[in-house]
C-alpha cells in the first residue's frame, strides 16, 4: 500500500509540475516614453519555454523582428543602437521563485529571478508576472519589467534625445502549449 501511495504521489506531482510548455509566437513589446515622443516596438516572434520540472523559464526574441511602425526608425534602431548584426537577440533566462499551484482558469502571480541579456550585456533582474493554466493543455504568461538602456551599454541618441527614453518598459504576453 505504501508503494501505491508513493507512485500516486509521484504521478500527481509530475502531472502538476513535470510539464514543459513552448511558444514560438509570443508577443513582446517595448514602450519608449520620452517627453516629446512615445512609441512602441513590437514582435510576435517571441520564443519561449516554461519547464516546471526544471523550474526554468527561457524567452528570447530576434531583435530584427521588432517593428515600430516607421521603417527608417527601425533601421536606425537596429544598426546604430541595438547593433543587431553583432547582438541579434534579447533573452531572459531564469527560475520561478517558489512552486506555483496552477488551476484551470486561475491567474496566479509569480516572480522569476534570472538574467536578461541584450546588446552583449547580461544583468540579473527580478520579473513579476502572472501564469494562467488554460483548459487545452496550455498556459498563458503575462509580465512586464523595466530596463535602462545605459545598463546594457545601449546609447541614447544625442541628436534626438527626446525621441528615445532611457527607460524602456518591456511587456511579454505568450500562450505556451504543452510539449508532448
Distance (Å, whole) CA 177 – CA 24: 10
As given in the structure block, the three cell numbers for residue 49 are 519555454
Q: Which of 16-25, 112-121, 154-163, 170-179 has the lowest mean pLDDT?
A: 154-163
This prediction has a pTM of: 0.85
Grid cell 501505491 in the structure block, residue: 4
Q: Read off the pLDDT of each residue in 148-177 and give the average, rounded to a whole number.
A: 85
Residue 40, burial from CB neighbour count under 10 angstroms (0-12, 13-18, 19+): middle
Within a domain: 5: no
What's the pLDDT tens digit per position in 58-101? 999 999 999 999 999 899 889 989 999 999 999 999 999 988 88
* pLDDT surpassing 70 at residue 149: yes
In a domain, 41, yes or no: yes
Four-point Cα dihedral 39, 69, 131, 169, nearest 10? -20
Instruction: Find the mean pLDDT for residues 137-149.
Output: 95
| CA nearest neighbour of 29 among 58, 69, 76, 56 | 69
Domain-embedded: residue 12: no
Residue 160 pLDDT grade (very low, low, confident, very high; cuts 50, 70, 90): low
* Contacts of 13 by beta carbon, 8 Å cutoff, 6+ apart: none
Domain count, the chain: 1
Rounded distance, CA 41 to CA 146, Å? 14
Residue 61 lies in a domain: yes
- Give me the pLDDT at residue 34, please: 81
Res 135 pLDDT > 60: yes
* Model pLDDT, residue 158: 64
For residue 86, the enclosing domain spans: 19-178
The CA dihedral of 73, 77, 81, 83, to the nearest 10 degrees, is -140
From residue 163, alpha-carbon distances to 38, 39, 134, 151, 160 in Å are 8, 9, 40, 19, 5
Element holding 110 (H helix, E strand):
strand 107-118
**pLDDT tens profile 8-63:** 333 333 334 458 999 999 999 999 888 778 899 999 999 999 999 999 999 999 99
Confidence label for 127 from pLDDT (cuts 50, 70 and 90): very high
Say if 8 falls within a structural domain.
no
Tell me the CATH number at 153. 2.40.128.110
Establish if 3 belongs to a structural domain: no
Sign of CA dihedral 90, 107, 98, 168: positive
Q: What is the pLDDT of residue 157?
A: 73
Q: Which residues of 72-86 are buried (b: 16+ CB within 10 A; e: fewer)?
A: ebeebbbeeebbbee
Position 32 in a domain: yes
Q: Within a domain: residue 2? A: no
Amino acid at each position: 500500500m505504501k508503494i501505491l501511495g508513493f507512485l500516486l504521489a509521484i504521478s500527481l506531482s509530475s502531472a502538476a509540475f513535470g510539464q514543459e510548455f513552448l511558444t514560438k509566437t509570443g508577443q513582446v513589446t517595448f514602450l519608449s516614453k520620452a517627453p516629446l515622443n512615445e512609441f512602441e516596438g513590437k514582435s510576435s516572434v517571441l520564443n519561449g519555454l516554461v519547464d516546471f520540472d526544471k523550474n526554468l523559464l527561457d524567452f528570447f526574441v530576434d531583435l530584427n523582428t521588432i517593428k515600430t511602425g516607421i521603417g527608417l526608425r527601425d533601421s536606425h534602431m537596429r544598426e546604430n543602437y541595438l547593433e543587431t548584426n553583432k547582438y541579434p537577440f534579447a533573452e531572459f533566462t531564469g527560475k520561478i521563485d517558489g512552486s506555483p499551484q496552477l488551476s484551470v482558469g486561475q491567474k496566479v502571480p509569480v516572480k522569476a529571478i534570472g538574467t536578461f541579456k541584450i546588446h552583449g550585456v547580461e544583468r540579473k533582474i527580478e520579473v513579476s508576472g502572472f501564469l494562467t493554466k488554460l483548459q487545452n493543455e496550455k498556459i498563458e504568461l503575462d509580465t512586464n519589467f523595466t530596463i535602462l538602456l545605459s545598463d546594457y551599454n545601449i546609447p541614447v541618441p544625442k541628436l534626438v534625445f527626446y525621441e528615445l527614453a532611457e527607460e524602456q518598459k518591456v511587456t511579454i504576453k505568450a500562450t505556451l502549449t504543452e510539449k508532448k
